Amino acid sequence: MTLVGLSFAYLKDRGLNTALNILLLALGVATLVILLLFARQLEGRFTRDAQGIDLVVGAKGSPLQLILSSIYHVDVPTGNIPLSAVQALRQERTVAKVIPLALGDNFRGYRIVGTEPAYPAHYGAVLSDGRMWDKPFEAVIGADVAAGLGAGLGQRFLGSHGLGSGQSPEHDATPFIVVGRLKPTGTVVDRLVMASVESVWDMHGIAHDENEHEDEPDEAHGVMQPEVTALLVTYSSPLGAIQLPGFINRQTNMQAAAPAVEITRLLSLVGLGIEAVQALALLLLLTAGLSIFVALYTALRQREGDMAMLRVIGASRASIFGQILVEGMLLATAGALLGVALGHGVIAAAAANFRQLAEMGLDAGRFDIAELWIVLGALAIGAFAALLPALRVFRADIAETLAHSR
Amino acid sequence: MKLAAGVSAATTPLVSFSTLSHAMDGRTVLAIPGWEQAAGEHALVLGPSGSGKTTLINIICGLVTPTSGSARIDGMDMTALAPAARDALRRRTIGLVFQTLRLIPALTVRENLALAQHIGRGLHDPAEISALIARVGLAHRADAKPRALSQGEGQRAAIARALITRPRLVVADEPTSALDDSNAAAMIDLLFETATATGATLLVATHDVRIRPRFAKVLTLAPPALQAAA
């Protein structure tokens, strides 16, 4: 029986109190861990999906909506723009790369993107089997789509109108056929069905007036012109950033939005909420610390006689001080570890139950280095909560304590 | 004189003090002439409440520094040592049996002994613990917590804990005052028996005159007023 063993024995002796304090601390730690993982993974996802895209050009409307719909595929597009814009932009000297996107349809909630092979290539996606599309209605699917639908090569499917997994009618004309599947990239491409831009036009019978998409304003009166939804632009020189957005926004019917600017704006909006909850979580941690302090303080008052006795039979002040500190640290360690486990558990449960969260790339299996700081913070709170009661050992007069305690 | 038979040939007395006095808040609580106790010579400190028994024990254990005079334990001047050295001398030499027992309620009897053994001697010897528990007749209660023990069982556990560090001197503060006649006699029997078996010398402080006849060596403390007059 060592003094550490004694710490365990004391904690076990007041088991309910110990369990409640551990739980209280764990809740604070878990809240911080959830916020941290959520914010970090969201930010990481946002950054990765927008990498290398300097500008998005699309129909006029909300720039944030344009970015969300054409980079992250989470909002509805602002509208369509003429196909001629692709050529016009490609002729700009400051532009290195233009990738067209034609949106508006889905297959069981996975968005169908009419684009060029340069799009998956931009995210470093490589085929796990099959080949790239080269004819209309040939589709290549991302890793999550393949896993989610269990779709193999040669699988045929009909696209549906709209972008959600709603009950919109299926296009009854031509089915897509899966010709290739991509390896996981950890980017938005994993959740997309990709085909040629022409496929999307054909699907909508571009020669007919079929502008029934609620989310695509009727721009082409009469005969439908070949259109795309957005263009992902990469500059060849920094000069592009100075000239292009201003020109597009003032001189054309289109708008240009910089992902970096919009993401920063979005994250600062989300960040405000996160910071508010973070403050609450910190408060929770401090409350837990205070609770540990009260528990140790009252326990030690009852144990003053024990401590004096231990001193009399030869335990040094330092070792008894250490014993109390260990008791606080044991509480804090248990609370911190339980909190981290709880935090990851909640993230896992959330990702499993809310598809949007899973689509944002929320991954409970990923640990962040900052979690270590949260754990260390919790340990520091435990140590500090134990410190004040423990310091009494140095002030206590043994003979006095023995005389006045039982 | 039957108990003085164990008086050793050691030249240094186990406990000795010169004329001792101690005052608290300007009030004299202890004033006694010099005294000596040889190893193996079980002794009784007898006096009414307030006569300074506890103060004397605290001085002997190095918990209180007397206002004047000094106490030597096993040849070392306890009163002149630095606090850490006092702790070490007490740990090496003295085992204490408290009136209120002071067993740690969160630990079993066996664990209480193991903790004292660890603190006192820095080792863990389960066989010695079991043997000592058996010697005080608590083998069947070894894994019980103190609050589950009867008064008598608790006292046996407290004696075993005092002896587990193999002290040369066992100091017992009022071990019998709360007990009826037969239990008081049994308690003293047990103290003598275990102390003799482990080679420890007893120093019992009490106001309980019933056990007076059991000791050959007695230090009688007068009430403080009389001490001051003397």
Count of domains for chain A: 2
Q: Which domain holds residue A384?
A: 3-46+270-404
The pLDDT of residue A99 is 94
What's the pLDDT band for A172 if we cut at 50, 70, 90? Answer: low
With a cut of 80, say whether residue A169 has pLDDT above it.
no
Residue B145 φ/ψ, nearest 5 degrees: -85, 155
Range of the domain at B155: 2-229
The whole-angstrom distance between A29's CA and the closest CA on chain B is 29
> Are A240 and A288 in a shared domain?
no
- The residue from A196, A230, A257 where one domain ends is A257
Q: Residues A93, A224: one domain?
A: yes
> Within this chain, do residues A324 and A392 fall inside the same structural domain, yes or no?
yes
Number of C-beta neighbours around residue A219 at 10 A: 15
Taking residues A90-115, report their average pLDDT. 90
Q: A250 and A368: one domain?
A: no
Residues A297 and A390 in one domain: yes
Looking at the fold, whether A400 and A349 belong to one and the same domain comes out as yes
Residue B154 and residue B99 in contact, taking contact as beta carbons nearer than 8 Å: no
**What are B46's strand-pairing partners?**
B206, B220
Domain boundary among A196, A225, A257: A257
- Give the number of other Cβ atoms within 10 Å of residue A297's Cβ: 14
Name residues 9-68 of chain B within 8 A of A (Cβ).
54, 58, 61, 63-64
Instruction: List the CATH number of the domain containing B199.
Output: 3.40.50.300
Instruction: Name the burial class of residue A376, with classes exposed (0-12), middle (13-18) and buried (19+) by CB atoms within 10 angstroms of its CB.
Output: exposed
Residue A263 within a domain: no
Which of these three, A213, A229, A257, is where a domain ends?
A257
B contacts of A305 (beta carbons < 8 Å) = 100, 102
- Do residues A235 and A105 share a domain? yes
Claim to verify: residue A33 and residue A64 sit in the same structural domain = no
More confident residue, A295 or A357: A295
Tokens of A264: 């920063």
Shortest CA distance from B147: residue in chain A: A13
In a domain, A36, yes or no: yes
Contact B201, B42 (CB under 8 A): yes
| pLDDT higher than threshold 60 for residue A210 | no
- With an 8 Å Cβ cutoff, is B93 touching chain A? no
Q: How many domains does chain B have?
A: 1
Nearest-Cα residue of chain A relative to residue B129: A1
Q: At which residue do the structure tokens 């609050």 appear?
A: B147
Residue B100 to residue A6, Cβ atoms within 8 A: no
Select from A5, A306, A313 the Cβ nearest to the Cβ of B120: A313
C-alpha span between A17 and A292 (Å, rounded): 9
Is A125 a domain residue?
Answer: yes
Q: Could you report the predicted ipTM of this complex, rounded to two decimals?
A: 0.84
Quick one: average pLDDT of A1-20? 90
Closest CA to A270 of A76, A38, A28, A48: A38
| A302 in the same domain as A230 | no
Selected residues 150-209 of chain B with any CB under 8 Å from a CB in chain A: 161, 165
Question: How many angstroms separate the CA of residue A405 from the nearest CA in chain B?
Answer: 9
Q: Does A264 fall in a domain?
A: no
In a domain, A15, yes or no: yes
What average pLDDT does the segment A132-147 reach? 90
Asked if residue A143 is part of any domain, the answer here is yes
Q: What pLDDT score does A163 carry? A: 67
A340-374 pLDDT, tens digit each: 999 999 999 988 887 667 766 678 888 888 899 98
Decide if A9 and B105 are in contact by the 8 Å CB cutoff.
no
A239 and A274 in a single domain? The answer is: no
The CA distance from B155 to B174, in Å, is 11
Q: For residue A11, give the chain B residue with the closest CA.
A: B106
What is the 8-class DSSP label of residue B216? Answer: S
Say if the Cβ atoms of B120 and A314 lie within 8 Å.
Answer: yes
Task: For residue A315, list chain B residues with Cβ-Cβ distance below 8 A.
Answer: 119
Asked if residue A202 has pLDDT above 90, the reply is no
Q: Are residues A16 and A76 in the same domain?
A: no
Asked whether residue A262 is domain-assigned, the answer is no
**B106 neighbourhood in chain A, CB within 8 Å:** 6, 9-10, 12-13
Shared domain check, A324 and A288? yes
> Residue A137 falls within a domain, yes or no?
yes
Give the closest of B87, B115, B117 to A316, CB-based: B87
pLDDT under 70: residue ranges of chain B = 1-11, 224-230
Chain A: residues touching B (Cβ < 8 Å): 1-3, 5-6, 9-10, 12-13, 305-306, 309-316, 319, 398-399, 402-403, 406
The reported pLDDT for the residue numbered A196 is: 92
C-beta atoms of A6 and B96 within 8 A: no
